[in-house]
Structure 1
């Protein structure tokens, strides 16, 4: 069974997920994939698509090739990911922003710029 690439990929995915203390339910919720599907992938019973590999990589905050490097070590992470918190909100925020219309994305970007300027100048800080 260890020679089966589906099984090795699934064990690697489970290892990455567990390293950051994410339950399958959390990964399913954050990625938009069904928990039962993720369970099948982690057990090596489901053949995962490239699209879903990219979705999971984005959700976990790793490059897609990290998920495909299941032969290089079960949980070898990139330096950038190793410094992030397991509850890092950016992948979720990025996916949410992509769902907005162009107009709403521009509005949100302007809001973030305005808040950033005000925070940097101490206008929103409470002393």
Structure 2
């Protein structure tokens, strides 16, 4: 069946997410919470078509949320990008997804962009 749960939260990991993980297409849960991972959110994560939970909070990811994550729209139920340096707006493909809980907070600001179940327009 392959790896379906990968939880390396709170492990003091440092660096980039290895691109070899893009082959884990059967994964249901990926939890990278509370490490020291950085760079942009990898575009190849959009290939993880069965992913239901993606937790990348409390790291040093920066830049926009890649449009490739829209490929997860049919499976993804929970996305946590809080406490990173994410910029820009949520891709529009997520706006109509009524079963998705999204948490995104910008470390650089004193306000929260969004932390709610989505029911309407959300901008930056």
TM-score, normalised with respect to structure 1: 0.22
TM-score, normalised with respect to structure 2: 0.23
Higher strand content, 1 or 2: 2
Kindly name which structure, 1 or 2, has the bigger radius of gyration based on alpha carbons: 1
Higher helix content, 1 or 2: 1
